[in-house]
């Protein structure tokens, strides 16, 4: 298998090829860049949820701590150990607190004996942790990472572990270096979330509410609430599908915060502005509070003040023959 230490494939692949390759693999890492966007974090989390559904052993990696309310964002780690056949036992340790460590076998059990130093407290069994280590990974999926260097510490510190892994490079940036064994890089999408959505469909993963919420937030963030020039009809079709699945609306404001647009298109008279508070009965485009009062006053009065300037209609009745046909003749005839 080609990995970090081998020559990449400089060609663009299809999602079908990505699907076929993933079906051969089992354990892997999903990694984002050292400065990922909301769209890229949402995409990586959604792909993580999708592959977990398919039975993969998968880990999320970021060079920096991810502080996000997106679902599964708490699974990101700055380091990782792939489970294997080794049993690792660990506990808190202070220099000089252990005098001796020995092992023995009694009654068919392997026993490790730890002798604390004189005056030192032995470790509490509640602090002892167990883990399976020594495993290897089959693949690394990079999401929104234009160059390997943008992976950060994983590129430098985990090179031996990653050398045998298949690299699947998923991105929409025009400056991507096509460093993967498989590269699905397409600038025609308005978000990476759209690519992950299409890949999930290829993998026959049922998109649940968690995935739908992440993908919708990623889509909204990348397109600036669908105002980007790269938005296509397919973008709205995806958004509509995700919304039908069920988007957790409270997470949209939690994740995007104050990035929501505050300008209401003038053509949508009578609809609530994006930035207006929930439950507001008066759209903001009506202006200030004083202006709103003026509008209400004018609407509730039978006679508008401007009526004083209108010409008064005559009370004189029209002639009885007003509607009868008339024949006009010239005086010269």
- Backbone phi, psi, residue 89, to 5°: -115, 125
Same structural domain, 204 and 163: yes
Range from 53-57, 110-114, 255-259, 294-298 carrying the lowest mean pLDDT: 294-298
- Backbone phi, psi, residue 185, to 5°: -120, 115
Residue 34: name the closest of 56, 54, 9, 63 by CA: 63
Same structural domain, 61 and 199: yes
Same structural domain, 123 and 142: no
CATH value at residue 169: 3.90.1640.10
Distance CA 206, CA 18 (A): 18
Same structural domain, 175 and 208: yes
Instruction: Name the domain boundary from 246, 263, 284.
Output: 246
- Domain assignment of residue 308, yes or no: no
Higher-confidence residue of 278 and 320: namely: 320
Q: How many CB atoms lie within 10 A of CB 72?
A: 20
Q: Which is it for the CA torsion 24, 25, 26, 31, positive or negative?
A: negative
- C-alpha distances (whole Å) from 67 to each of 38, 83, 312 are 10, 26, 69
* Pairing, β 166-171 against β 182-185: parallel
Same structural domain, 103 and 242: no
Task: Report residue 217 as tokens.
Answer: 């937030």
- C-alpha distances (whole Å) from 59 to each of 88, 164, 325 are 19, 17, 91
Distance CA 27, CA 82 (A): 8
Note the pLDDT of residue 47: 98
Same structural domain, 171 and 110: no
- Domain assignment of residue 182, yes or no: yes
Distant-in-sequence, close-in-space partners of 113: CB < 8 Å, separation ≥ 6: 100, 101, 102, 103, 104
Please give the tally of structural domains in the chain.
2
* Sequence-ordered strand ranges (E) for 163-265: 166-171, 182-185
- Domain assignment of residue 281, yes or no: no
Same structural domain, 33 and 53: yes
DSSP H or E segment with residue 109: strand 109-116
Distance CA 185, CA 170 (A): 6
- Domain assignment of residue 142, yes or no: yes
Same structural domain, 119 and 236: no
pLDDT exceeding 90 applies to what percent of the chain?
49
Count how many residues are written for the chain.
333
Distance CA 243, CA 260 (A): 18
Note the pLDDT of residue 135: 65
Q: Which is it for the CA torsion 206, 212, 218, 223, positive or negative?
A: positive
Domain extent at residue 186: 15-81+134-246
Edge to edge, what strands does the sheet with 76-77 contain?
A: 76-77, 57-61, 27-32, 139-143, 166-171, 182-185
- pLDDT tier for residue 320 given thresholds of 50, 70 and 90: low
Report, as an integer, the average pLDDT of 238-254. 94
Same structural domain, 237 and 172: yes
Residue 166: name the closest of 177, 176, 146, 180 by CA: 180
- Domain assignment of residue 2, yes or no: no
Note the pLDDT of residue 118: 83
- Domain assignment of residue 319, yes or no: no
Asked if the model's pLDDT at residue 279 lies above 50, the reply is no
Higher-confidence residue of 209 and 132: namely: 209
Same structural domain, 156 and 70: yes
- Domain assignment of residue 253, yes or no: no
Report, as an integer, the average pLDDT of 92-110. 85
Distance CA 98, CA 121 (A): 9
Name the pTM for this structure: 0.65
Task: Report residue 225 as tokens.
Answer: 């609430």
Report, as an integer, the average pLDDT of 104-129. 84
- pLDDT tier for residue 290 given thresholds of 50, 70 and 90: very low
Instruction: Name the domain boundary from 219, 246, 273.
Output: 246
Higher-confidence residue of 155 and 287: namely: 155
- Domain assignment of residue 6, yes or no: no
Question: Under a CB-based contact definition with an 8 Å cutoff, are residues 165 and 28 in contact?
Answer: yes
Residue 155: name the closest of 239, 258, 32, 53 by CA: 32
Residue-wise pLDDT tens digits, 42-85? 999 999 999 999 999 999 999 999 999 999 999 999 876 666 66
Higher-confidence residue of 301 and 131: namely: 131
Residue 183: name the closest of 54, 173, 48, 205 by CA: 173
Task: Report residue 26 as tokens.
Answer: 């089992």
Instruction: Name the domain boundary from 229, 246, 263.
Output: 246
Same structural domain, 155 and 224: yes
Same structural domain, 138 and 198: yes
Report, as an integer, the average pLDDT of 219-226. 95
Report, as an integer, the average pLDDT of 159-184. 88
């Amino acid at each position: 298998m080609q990995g970090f230490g081998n020559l990449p494939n400089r060609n663009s692949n299809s999602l079908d090829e990505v699907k076929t390759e993933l079906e051969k693999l089992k354990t892997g890492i999903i990694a984002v860049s050292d400065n990922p966007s909301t769209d890229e974090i949402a995409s990586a989390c959604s792909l993580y949820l999708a592959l977990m559904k398919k039975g993969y052993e998968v880990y999320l990696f970021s060079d920096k701590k991810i502080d996000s309310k997106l679902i599964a964002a708490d699974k990101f780690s700055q380091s990782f150990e792939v489970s294997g056949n080794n049993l690792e036992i660990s506990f808190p340790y202070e220099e000089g607190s252990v005098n001796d460590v020995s092992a023995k076998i009694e009654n068919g059990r392997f026993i490790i004996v730890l002798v604390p130093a004189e005056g030192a407290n032995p470790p509490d069994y509640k602090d002892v942790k167990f883990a399976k280590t020594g495993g290897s990974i089959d693949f690394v999926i990079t999401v929104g990472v234009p160059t390997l260097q943008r992976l950060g510490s994983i590129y430098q510190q985990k090179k031996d572990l990653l050398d045998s892994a298949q690299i699947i490079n998923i991105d929409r940036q025009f400056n991507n270096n096509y460093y993967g064994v498989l590269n699905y890089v397409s600038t025609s999408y308005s978000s990476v979330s759209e690519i992950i959505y299409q890949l999930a469909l290829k993998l026959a993963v049922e998109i649940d509410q968690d995935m739908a919420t992440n993908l919708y937030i990623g889509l909204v963030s990348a397109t600036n609430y669908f105002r980007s020039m790269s938005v296509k009809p397919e973008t709205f079709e995806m958004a509509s599908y995700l919304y039908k699945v069920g988007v957790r609306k409270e997470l949209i404001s939690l994740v995007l915060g104050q990035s929501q647009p505050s300008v209401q298109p003038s053509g949508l008279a009578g609809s609530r502005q994006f930035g207006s508070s929930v439950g507001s009965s008066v759209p903001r485009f009506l202006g200030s509070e004083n202006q709103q009062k003026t509008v209400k006053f004018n609407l509730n009065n039978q006679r508008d003040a401007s009526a004083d300037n209108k010409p008064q209609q005559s009370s004189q009745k029209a002639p009885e023959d007003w509607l009868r046909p008339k024949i006009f003749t010239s005086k010269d005839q």
